Structure 1
Amino acid sequence: MRIMGKGVLLLLAALALAACASGGKKMSELQRLQYAYSAAIRWGDFEGAWKLVDPEYREANPMTELEFERYNHVQVSAYRERGAQVLDDGTAVREIEIGVINRHNMTERSARYTEQWRYDPETGQWWISNGLPDLWAGQ
């Protein structure tokens, strides 16, 4: 009986470890994509960042050349995470503060943005589900 009890405990421990490993892989992939996304924004590669936006969102809200051109009028000076959490539905949320410099008059301001990340189990891919940051909100 004692041996069977230890066997069950070992089996449960192995299952728990496997669950942590798969969840850990999923979360490390999220962190990798969040880093890539934030790097694209920091370096002004908004077209590259657009490729990490959920394809369903891109189809429903296509960006025009004029909208992409608008991002060329600003330079990102900072990209700071102010908080992050995973919601009960599996959505990952990050509160971001972005430093924005107007290239024409060299004034700097900050903009707040909430990233929402959705995991697609079919493709095994995380997508940002609410589009690029609106750097002109409230202006």
Structure 2
Amino acid sequence: MRPMHARNAFALLALLACALLLPGCASTGKGEALQRAQYAWSAAIRWGDFEGAWNLVDPEYREQNPLTDVALERYAQVQVSHYRELGAPPPSADGSVGRDIDIGVINRHTMAERGLRYRESWRWDETAGTWWNTAGLPDFWRGE
């Protein structure tokens, strides 16, 4: 990447971070915690930190669906080109919230890009004081 492009990309990233963080300054409690959790999740997925994202998955889900070394190796074979929020369905009666996402995925071996949609699902854990992703990592292969 040329130096000028790197500076422009950094400036754009800084502006985006500010834009995402400003609404959080006005909110408090669970809403702010949800914004922080979703921001951390989207950043981890976007930058290919699937182990980091896995730490944001509900412990019950992780226990029932352990992440194997083979699965982690599979995630290492893709690169996420974009991660865009499409909208959010209304909160569920149990208080869980969702977010619809459009993800671009590039196969590192073939350089073929494709898009998919993914629905995040989040639940508040009163004891831990945090939101957990209950949908697990995105399935970039959908049965392949």
TM-score (normalizing by structure 2) = 0.77
Structure 1: which 4+ aligned runs deviate by more than 6 Å? none
Matched, 1:61 2:65: yes
**Residue in structure 2 matched with residue 25 of structure 1 by the alignment:** 29
Secondary structure at 1:44's aligned position in 2?
coil
Instruction: Tell me the number of residue pairs that the alignment of Structure 1 and Structure 2 aligns.
Output: 117
Q: 2:48 aligns with which of 44, 48, 51?
A: 44
Shift of 1:84: 1.1
| Paired position in structure 1 for 2:134 | 129
Which SS does the other structure have where 1:93 is aligned? strand
Residues 16-64 of structure 1 show CA distances to partners (whole Å, capped at 9, x for unaligned) of xxxxxxx832111101110000000000000000000000100010010
| CA distance 1:138–1:59, shift in 2 (3 Å) | closer
Q: Percent identity of the aligned residues? A: 62
In 2, the alpha carbon distance for the partners of 1:30 and 1:66 equals 30
1:113 aligns with one of 118, 132, 141: 118
Determine whether 1:93 maps to 2:101.
no
2:28 partner SS: helix
Computing the radius of gyration from Cα coordinates, the structure with the larger value is: 1
TM-score of the superposition, structure 1-length normalised?
Answer: 0.80
Structure 1 position 111, deviation (Å): 1.1
Q: Distance in 1 between matches of 2:143 and 2:57?
A: 23
Matched residue, 1:10: none
Unpaired runs of 5+ residues, structure 1, are 1-22
3-state SS of the aligned residue for 1:122? coil
What is the rounded CA distance, in whole Å, between the counterparts of 2:96 and 2:111 in structure 1? 36
Consecutive unaligned residues in structure 2, runs of 5 or more? 1-26
